[in-house]
A and B are shown apart, each in its own frame.
Chain A
Amino acid sequence: MARAVTPRRKALNTVAAWSVALIIFFPVLWMILTSFKTEPSAVAMPPQLFSADWTLENYSEVWARSDYPRFFWNSVVISVGSTLLGLAIAIPAAWSMAFVPGKRTKDLLMWMLSTKMMPAVAVLIPMYLIFQRTGLFDTKTGLVLALMLMNLPIIVWMLYTYFKEIPGEILEASRMDGASLWKEIVYVLTPMAVPGIASTMLLNVILAWNEAFWTITLTTTKAAPLSAFIASFSSPQGLFYGKLSAASTMAIAPILILGWFSQKQLVRGLTFGAVK
């Protein structure tokens, strides 16, 4: 809304908005600050916002004591892999729903979303058994599959809303121009939907990165991503705030940075294309 306001009003707004934003951000900030404190000053009373004895010791200790690169790499493979696989399956489905809608398209979409409402815990034991039996337990392949299926409804829905914005005449034009269905999707639809696909990818990488149920229950060591890394850290480390904060910061830093850099696409993705 481009409405003229007085400078005084703008200053007031700025102060208010920044206060609220800092309150929301403060827990993350406090965690990051704590990760640079020595253990005694991390629990010092009264608390110190900036401690005098800055240290990187927490990080070096966490790094030395656990195999962070492996957890990190597992997280990358699982979140990116599940997202790409999901896109490969979802793009044709979303094409169908958006450009050849039938009477039951809406129901189908809603059914897909409703599969996400099933509490994961409810099927934990069967999933555990299935994963053990099929050799998928504690493998990256297994988690890629699981997280792909978990996020597939969201991916389909987001792509569907983006595709619907593309005029069907353009796809018909490509059909008149002699493009097969496959070429129509590869040469015309996908390039036109790049911004939407990018947003969808980003959001789903984040959702997969932050998933902390299947990633913890269906892994032990080999395929465990950062969510398992942090869960394992909190129990034996007990109240070593500095190290716990350092480990936590290391777990969320990659995705936090990715999210901040791609803010624009992400905001678009976050709204699921459903709000304009």
Chain B
Amino acid sequence: MKLSEVMKKDHIVFKKSVKNYEAAIYESGKVLIDKNIIERKYLDKVIDNVKSIGPYIVIAPMIALSHARPEDGAKALGMSLLMLEEPVNFSKEKDRYARAIITLAASNENEHLEALSQMSKMLMENMEAFLGAKDRETILKLIENYS
């Protein structure tokens, strides 16, 4: 499935700020719970992982890829995005700030790879435009160009 089918319009949320990174993870993934794509425990697991392994989900400055594994409560393929105006730090010790929190879920090892590589290409070539986006339409246009 291509990126635009996985990251749908109503999966993208803009918000000024959140109280902490846990809230960022829940608010980014909430729509996937509502749509029965993940269980709540999937997001609990992401937070557990950050606490035990570290803020490794911040994969580039300002970008977090919030995900656990299929067996952690992912029922289908889906992606969602929380765009914050104010960055949130995923670490207490280091600077691991993110403004874009992408939640990724897949029910097996492979079904997400097409959409994930399209997103990766989109970010590699348009990082500034992506982080500068002020509305859904801007993000959707970028997504459409790479789907």
Q: Do A and B bind each other?
A: no
Using a CB–CB distance below 8 Å, which chain B residues touch chain A? none
Using a CB–CB distance below 8 Å, which chain A residues touch chain B? none
